[in-house]
Amino acid sequence: MPKLKTHKGARSRFHITGSGKIMRTKGGKSHLRRKKSRQAKRLFDETIPLHSRDRIRIKRLIPYGTS
């Protein structure tokens, strides 16, 4: 069985925790951020768990669970 290649875009956007959860960042954090409230800007810094429906798709792009 040949080795599988990691999707480089997915590798930079998602990371896998020690317990196996796939975490993602929120979009819209780099452009037009000046006019948003301080609380809204702080929410962009969080990483949130990936939805269960997307988990199978992303696991295929990151086969070896690289962080």
3: in domain: no
CB count in 10 Å sphere of residue 37: 8
- When the pLDDT of each residue in the chain is averaged and rounded to a whole number, the result is 89
Query: pLDDT for 22-42, tens place per residue?
Result: 999 988 888 888 898 999 888
Q: Which CATH number belongs to the domain containing residue 32 in this structure?
A: 4.10.410.60
Tokens of 59: 């696991």
| Domain hosting residue 46, numbered range | 8-61
Q: In the prediction, which pLDDT does 66 show?
A: 53
Q: Which is nearest to 57 in space by CA: 27, 13, 19?
A: 13
* Domains held by the chain: number: 1
Q: In the prediction, which pLDDT does 32 show?
A: 85
67: in domain: no
1: in domain: no
40: in domain: yes
